[in-house]
Amino acid sequence: MDLTIRPARIDDHEAVAAFTRETWPDREMDDYLPGTFREWAASDDDARRTLVADDGGRAVGVIQGVELSNWESWVQGLRVHPDYRDRGLARRLTDDVLTWARSRGATVCRNLVFSWNVASLGLARDRGFEPATEFRWATVEADADADPVLSVTADPDAGWAFWTDCDARKHLRGLAIHPSRAWTLSELRPADLARAAEADGLFVVGERGTRGLGLRNRAFEADGDRWTEHAVGAWADLDAARALIDAAARDAARLDADRARLLIPETARFVTDAAAARADVSGDPDFVLATDLTDPDIGT
């Protein structure tokens, strides 16, 4: 195709919004791009690159790459106008972002794909992405009277010691929601726990040994409700799950939120523990895939 891949501009917004409003017509969910693309284009810098496919001055495809650390990158927002699908455009956009990420020094690039999005899963595998992990969201109503059944403290050292050898970390490959980038995952670090503790957002379940970890990373509004979000919820047993979920409910009430959500591993143990702790659990898991940018064939 005689198309140009170029940096996004703010004036691409209307074209991008037009072909992304009905991204998933068979699902009761809206695409976030019409509401975020203008900000993406306006705030691109050395650590974030938004690209569009241009056909005669009209944007017909979009993608964004994000630098998460000095070695981790993330790709998101890949969309192609329906009239331009099945022509290799999604592959071109993906390869250009992977090339950019490698130029920034990244050795790994990850993305998130809904488990039901077969087309995007197939594209990711075709471009060298391999399965990394999968997760769901456990959600709970805010409750100022929630009383955890076990002691909950804010000890980052105890929390880190628990995280390094817990089942959740093994399943999640050490990943949690990035502290400043919504819907992106990066490797959890001791500094993340320290920051959460300073913000009164670290929850370490400790009674007869450390048995659980959660850390709030942001509050946000969606569909008229205010949420708190925990980068990860990890626990060793059902009592610890109950304590951590109760702590999240109490914290949400303290911050005048309506509910809290915690990222949890997609395993029978964690999903059923969350249910037994009276949390709701998202109906579909989300998949995280990763590609090794030290491989010179990736992104070419």
The answer to whether residues 95 and 258 touch, using CB atoms and an 8 Å cutoff, is: no
- Looking at residue 208, its pLDDT comes to 85
pLDDT at 113: 96
Q: Are 54 and 5 in contact (CB under 8 A)?
A: yes
Please tell me the distance from the alpha carbon of residue 290 to that of residue 57, in angstroms, as a whole number: 33
Crossing angle between the packed helical segments 13-20 and 33-43, to the nearest 10 degrees? 150
Contact (CB, 8 A) for 182 and 207 = no
pLDDT tens digits for range 157-170: 999 999 999 999 99
The two structure tokens encoding residue 230: 């925990």
- pLDDT for position 207: 82
What is the H or E stretch that residue 53 is in? strand 48-55
Q: Which helix (H) or strand (E) holds 4?
A: strand 4-7
pLDDT tens-digit map of 247-260: 999 999 999 999 99
**Angle, CA 141 vertex, CA 140 and CA 144 arms, to 5°:** 120
Per 3-state DSSP, the chain is made up of helix, strand and coil in percentages (nearest 5) of: 35, 35, 35
| Tokens at 133, concatenated | 């992990």
pLDDT for the residue numbered 22: 78
Whole-number Å distance between alpha carbons of 278 and 242: 8
pLDDT of residue 27: 65
Angstrom CA distances, 217 to 106, 258, 263, 272, stand at: 24, 16, 11, 24
> Residue 31 has what pLDDT?
84
Q: State pTM to two decimals.
A: 0.94
Instruction: Give pLDDT, residue 227.
Output: 98
- The span from the CA of 98 to the CA of 53, in Å, is 15
Write out residues in the chain with pLDDT < 50, as ranges. none
Rounded Cα gap, residues 152 and 142, in angstroms = 17
Q: HSE (CB half, 13 Å, CA atoms) of 215?
A: 26
pLDDT score for 26: 67
